[in-house]
Amino acid sequence: MDTKKLGDNDEEPKVFLRRFWGLVPSVGLIVGVVIGTGIFVSPTGILRGVSGSVGLAFVVWVVCAVLALLGGLCYTELAASFTKSGGEFTYLLEAFGPIPAYLRVWTLFVILSPADMAIQSLTVANYLTTPLVGDCIDAPYWSVRCTALCVFCLIIFINCVSVRLSSHLLVILTVAKTVGLCIIIITGFVLLAQGKTANFHQPFKVEEFDFKLLPSAFYAGIFAYSGWDNITCITEEIKKPEKTIAKAMVLSLLGVTVIYLLSNIAYLTVMTPNEILGSSAVAADFAEKSLGKMSWIIWIFVALSAAGSLNGGAFSRGRIFFVASREGYLPEIISMVHIKWKTPLPAMALSLPITVGMLLTGSIWELLTFSTFVDTAFIVLTLFTLPYLRWTRPERELPFRRLSGWPPRCLGSSFTSLVSDGKHSHVS
């Protein structure tokens, strides 16, 4: 944050958002949000969607990675064209006017942001409390809720008092979750070198393929890669956004894809496809089978992974509310910046009451099912802004001219996710 004079005759300085984020923090934001809980639960949903075929499961992982990269590059062009923060809110406002933008920010405020933060907070709490009480019994209901509430309030507090601290925390948690996944990968490949290859024989063999379940595989895969759009919410705080966002998007999603593929190979060295299908937390079951008494290490890293996703999501979505208030779609007080801390404190705290209510009353799966459809619908609409703007504003300078054929493909994939049946996905 910094201050700037309003004009020659103005005595009051204006407080505004400073360009603090370079390439490394931007990569940390994308990786930190994308690698949340998806890689630890989505393998079950993908494998179920392809009727237990190991080979087809890897195909789905790669296809979803390509779709995420294409979607990310489309958002990169929009970010380079409209150098305001706010992400989807800004793009919908520029392309279609106030009504879609208004609906986006209010659904984000009432449903999506609170539900997402509640999911991540509850995930952190579950993985922190379960090792303390043992595997035989569930952690007490209120101990999980109170732990989740403490985690959530701590993350919000950090984001309210310091942009630098929240960005450093994001990088630290990103490194921590990567280390956790590296432990899984190394363990799996050691076992693979010892001859644990039975699950890779005839990878495309399947007794009976159910095409009705296939959309749910992409539903789970897209969920695992979701979060790449958060970087466009802080465009005004990124140094040279027209270059930095593109580099961060490509580096992050390529790195995430490699980690996801290697992690799935590791899972399959220890667990059979049927065991994965019957698991609600693949990483935890993998750790119990391969690490024994040291399995608590993976539980801690999963908690840190969810905490990183919570921190990145809270940071970026607060900027959407900040921009929406500045444009007049939320009360003016939301666009104010704290004079001492130089953070958009009202915007960061906006969703706090609703999130606390969801933390105390909802379950993870209810919240996930509740929010996914609405979020995907707005992603589809946002992707449509790119061909629409090419058609209606041909004079607009295009940062990436080779993206012209990509939005329709992303729209098709997102529509597949949108119409898929949530009860067959990884959340079932």
Say what the pLDDT of residue 3 is.
38
DSSP structure class, residue 291: T
Question: In the chain, which residues have pLDDT < 50?
Answer: 1-13, 402-406, 408-409, 412-428
Please give the pLDDT value at position 297: 87
pLDDT at 420: 40
Predicted local confidence at residue 137, as pLDDT: 61
pLDDT of residue 96: 92
Cα–Cα dist 152/121, whole Å: 6
Q: What are the pLDDT digits (tens) for 137-153?
A: 667 888 889 999 999 99
Enter the tokens of residue 303: 């908690």
Q: Beta-carbon neighbour count of residue 197 at 10 Å? A: 12
The amino acid present at 211, given as its one-letter code, is F
Residue identified by tokens 């432990």 is 183
Buried-state track 372-402, b at ≥16 Cβ within 10 A, e below 16: bebbbbbbbbbbbbbbebbeeeeeeeeeeee
Alpha helix locations (H) across 194-240? Answer: 214-225
pLDDT, position 368: 63
217, 267, 181, 298: which is closest to 50 by C-alpha? 217
How open is the CA angle 192-195-199, to the nearest 5 degrees? 70
Q: At what angle do helices 54-81 and 364-392 cross, to 10 degrees?
A: 50
Report in angstroms the alpha-carbon separations of 358 from 83, 145, 180, 260. Answer: 34, 10, 29, 30
Q: What is the CA radius of gyration of the chain?
A: 21
| Closest to 247 (Cα-Cα) out of 101, 390, 369, 69 | 69
**What's the token pair of residue 138?**
């569930």
